[in-house]
Structure 1
């Protein structure tokens, strides 16, 4: 039977989302979680593949603004909800959906497409590269050792219900977005995501808790977390499960970490999805007791190479001709001259000889400044045509802070 790909209609959402749940193991999400994703779905940007009355494929995208090096918020399509029914794999369903989504992104004039990958090996063939990494920590708080001021100047901590300080926390998050590439400006409705706390997802931990840092009555930092009680014959061995922590000042950051390390009846702290240059790594005396692990985070692909490269700033002057290959989006193929510095950039087609040769996937990996073009060249994935072009361009692409995506979509 032939299939039809069409824009998702509101009346089809339950079946469409049910197919997505089936593809990810068949466990139904909690009602409040399902409602959140229903409310966030952008129907005109979502598609389903139907075989008769059966949905066999799902995909969509969100309208995001992504911070890039230099601090600019750049329009980006957040590709999401991708699934193919197991009975319809290897029939071109995924390729067809990716084709339609990226064509649509191009029509909308969005220079970037981003996603988080359930399996990283899937999306490289569509031009996506892993542009951020995320750090996970499992900290022995009794032995890691934390060196912070005992009384940060004017900072007090207060425990509060997460809902009661949602607006203040969102204001802090919004200020932080401009400071680090890879972060997403949250559109209305997305402020509900950090507070999502279904009982079925707690794995024995408490409801979500929140501590805020204040100065002069103003909230200037926060941490949201849960506590998972555990007991052994020797005594309490509870675990602090950190959801998120944001603070604009080093003293406030340190005060919040100290609070989490010192919680009664706990001996471990688990932090997921932290930036790879998290200040905590420089506050602890023994990072080995933190069991750090890395994994890929945000995957990115330029949809319009010229507009994407011109949208960011560069940490050093750069003037280079890039020979770009892009088999999935052939409008990007060819030579591009990139010129720029810390104040901005221009990127336009050129007939000048190539100086660096790479695919759009390598551009995606290096775009946010967290992956070195020189490292990719060492793996044979970037080729230097003009001697010296690699070093100059690699320096220009690298950022001052590691790019980071703090939450999924």
Structure 2
């Protein structure tokens, strides 16, 4: 690949970002969501020390012991421009070492990749940010506008001890901020045999995400002996309700950003994606289809089921948890459908509920991100997309900040990016991290 490097000492990016990423991967910040994890304190202290060494004052904030976030600010060249927020999370989901090729806390370099839980989600991105700040400290360069930095706890749960904490307890830190960048966007997907030429690369930039409705369901029945009549069996009622929910075919609906994504893929691939058969088209397009497969409809997936404690006792209650996601503007209709499918004998309550969020996919920020990617990869085709999952973007949207998913990575065509998230053998290429630092440098010094 031919790439144009930005001004500055780019040659040290890959080495520095690799060391930073490896160090972060070796710090256990697993977050089971029940408060039993080690917390983010050690990683937060590491980040703060790296920032302080680069001349950037860092503040630690901790709503609960060891649930720690880091806040900082870097002055830009033009103080008249609104500040830009760069946020990311320090925590990871847990990993089972026996399932991995290398230990998930190893941070080892193997076949050109750094391996470990959080390599993609999202300690690699945090390392890119730190490497860039350190490079600026060495050269005296600065971003075009003020940068507000937030390295956050608890994203892998509800954000209560991270993004939701800092947006309330430290609201002034984000004064004047209108836009932000964070995880899950700007990565490459290689296409083949298209009108754009061989080995064209699509770079999806996230411009929003579906709403989140995590729900706890409860079925009530009559307790009794397992050998007797069971006309009011809570377990059976709940299982039947979950079966109806899981079998439901949610209708498709194109939001403007997803429509823009499909139009861009049409142009890049030289085809016409059939809007009336999106499920089949998503399957046909493989990794590119994953960009829209889950964002053209609502979803509700049962994930947890608990009931009873003894084989010969019919319990009076049965419980389940469901991960629900809904399109922008669809919250009420989504919940009405869920209630209809559950039926009158199953009640629900929210574990966590947040509205869908969106940023401008046609504005100058998106254009500047696309230009930054193209500056490093002439074969790049940046496109907008909506994330199927959720991030800290929702907490910042609540205070008027729109977040773009922009954590640029140049990936090997055979590395399944989405499969790295919460998956086994999570890893990130060192060369891709170096590419990402160069893209971020270009974007942050020009936008």
* TM-score by shorter chain over 0.5: no
Q: TM-score w.r.t. structure 2 length?
A: 0.27
TM-score, structure 1 as length reference:
0.29
Greater strand share, structure number: 1
Higher relative contact order (CA 8 A, sep 6+): 2
